Amino acid sequence: MPRDLPLGNGALLVTFDGTYQLRDLYWPYVGLENHTDGHVFHVGVWVDGLFTWLDDPRWRRELHYASDTLMTRVELSHPDLNLTLNWSDTVDFHEPLFLRRVEVTNAAVQDRDVRLFFHHDFHIAGYELGDTAYYEPERRALYHYKGPHWFLINAAVPGKRPDDAQDSVDGWHIGLHQWACGQKEIANLQGTWKDAEDGVLSGNPIAQGSVDSTAAIHLTVPAGSSQLAYYWLAVGANFEEVTSLNRAVRRRGPWTFIDRTASYWHLWVDVHRPTFANLPSNVSALYASSLLIMRTQIDNRGAIVAANDSDIASEVRDTYSYMWPRDGAMVAYAFDLAGFLEIARPFYPFCERALTKEGYLLHKYNPDGTLASSWHPWMRDGGKELPIQEDETALVLWALWKRFEIWKNVEYIKPLYRSLIIPAAEFMAKYRDATTGLPLPSYDLWEERRGIAAFTCGAVWAGLKAASRFAGAFGEQALAEQYDTAAACIRTGVEGLLYRPELNRFVRMVRHRSDGTWNIDETVDSSLFGLWYFGMFSPEDPRIAQTMQVVQDRLWVKTAVGGMARYENDFYHQQSQDIANVPGNPWFICTLWLAQWFIAIAKNREDLNKALPLFDWCVHHALPSGVFPEQTHPYSGVPLSVSPLTWSHGTFVAAVQEYLRQEQKLLS
């Protein structure tokens, strides 16, 4: 199920699914560790003896973000309860603190007692063994802990009791009204959420092992009126850290943290808001939300995580919560284009630390910088081979040069020059076929086949050109010429081998057979865009134009959904065998690549506006919250695979920036 509403601050990330249930809670790294392991944190409502959980299909849900900020705007109503619930959720922009505000509106003609139940199904550090949950009476709060991971749950409702602590906020009762700690997933125990369904919790004060908890708060809501309540969850490495956060919320009021966070994100967006000129308002709104959603997926220490949607783990027993250097480079480039210099600053030192002594980056990395899981083998046909996608090494250098072109930050580049740029360039210059000049075989960007891929060639050419420019800038002309010569050999090899005159276009990959001949993979693939986007060929080169026209004709999904497929007969999450009409599922990045080509070759307003229907496609196939999945179903348009996919949003931001720059160029 998609993650419709991610919220985060670069250390704490919380996600909600389409039924408005909390599903993931990552800390202290974005993407690591997931303290829910994808299990649901239920929320329930009791009124007039009736009880329902928020995943009840009878709830009418509207799930959005508040405009230009990382705060939810969720409206829920239920036909049997005569209540409306308006929620605002956020993760504090600075502290590891998750806060919720709910406004309960009573449409009945009588005053009513309403009880809200919050269930917590922690799997601390990603597993359920050895957890503890307990109620602490002094603070009227629940604690969950295991090792260096602590969580405190508390709440506030209007009113004040005589025994309220002195540091409570005037006019508000701080603390939980009911609680229960219990066991789950053992001996047929379902958890304390079942205890809530009669409106009364047991009050059990502690449980250990595989445990959960449920907390309740009580509201009196006058007839035809509304009442507010607040909930917060503090995260830290020990008792003192979470208790200190709780103390700050009690003294200052939870609303101050919510309001300051909304203000922070409004400011964050406004500082670099472009003039959108001819772009429709829904595109400009989605641009802002894309930047915010991207930010939730980036760890403050440098990892740009591909996606944090734990449901994918049920299919492959793994996740997308990793840093792929390629995805990271493309997203970092988008942030730099958009003016957010600081966001990508830690990314390149992260890559520097990950770089092998031989000068290449491996498949993917955990958010803490350690090497992640991989399916690329180190051996083939009895011999060793490098399990790499060489475009990942190359695009880090390409994006770093683009960053330098924009920001001219010499002091930032200096420490990276010897430790990242030169080792990577040396590797790419040497890791080439002596006869063709092309890069030696590696895995393609889709991570499915090994050979000499067009996208990889375009990326490696760009990486070497970037290294040549850096070397020239640092006065090392011999190195600059060496890398420039290697790049020129790659271009010559692409022209001689990957361009096929008999097809009048480029092909996606070639492989060297043992008999000395070449296997030509003629499959039409949207990644052929890499031949021009990174600069090896002009987007107006007739060979590129013909290639892109074939890509458009053969990969457009010919259903009511539309959009661009990755390549012909794409098997990943395949939904149709009608290859002529559905070559694969439509992908956001592939659809936007076509838009970027239209933008790059535009000579006038009419040419430029060919990109607008593709922007509109993204608008209409995003979730109501603005979240982009990786791909969509070719007939229903429902999200497939993970969402949000950070690269999807990064490509949208880059494409909008390119549109605005091209528009300005055409006007000048």
Domain boundaries in the chain? 39-267
Walk along the chain (668 residues) in steps of 10 and give the mean pLDDT of each run.
Answer: 94 97 98 96 97 96 97 96 97 98 96 98 96 97 98 93 58 95 92 95 97 97 97 98 98 97 98 93 98 98 95 77 98 98 97 98 98 96 94 98 96 98 98 97 97 98 98 98 98 98 98 92 98 98 98 98 98 94 98 98 97 98 97 97 97 98 93
Q: What pLDDT is recorded for position 668? A: 81
In terms of C-beta density within 10 A (0-12 exposed, 13-18 middle, 19 or more buried), how is residue 315 classed? exposed
Location of structure tokens 């031949």: 531
Q: How many CB atoms lie within 10 A of CB 517?
A: 9
Q: What pLDDT is recorded for position 357? A: 98
Query: Smallest Cα–Cα separation from 566: which of 594, 538, 608?
Result: 594
pTM above 0.95, yes or no: yes
Give the CA dihedral 349, 353, 357, 362, nearest 10 degrees.
-100
Query: Smallest Cα–Cα separation from 497: which of 454, 548, 549?
Result: 454
State the Cα–Cα distance between residues 283 and 660, nearest whole angstrom: 12
Residues across the chain: 668
What sign does the dihedral 53-57-59-64 (CA atoms) show?
positive
Structural contact between residues 151 and 258, judged by C-beta atoms closer than 8 angstroms: no
State the Cα–Cα distance between residues 381 and 662, nearest whole angstrom: 49
Q: Name the DSSP letter for residue 126.
A: G
**Which fold would CATH assign to domain 39-267?**
Beta-galactosidase; Chain A, domain 5 (2.70.98)
**What angle is formed at CA 311 by the lines to CA 309 and CA 314, rounded to 5 degrees?**
140
State the Cα–Cα distance between residues 526 and 530, nearest whole angstrom: 9
Instruction: Please list, in sequence order, all residues whose beta carbon lies within 8 angstroms of the beta carbon of residue 640, skipping any fewer than 6 positions away.
Output: 573, 575, 585, 629, 630, 631, 632, 633
**What angle is formed at CA 288 by the lines to CA 286 and CA 290, rounded to 5 degrees?**
65
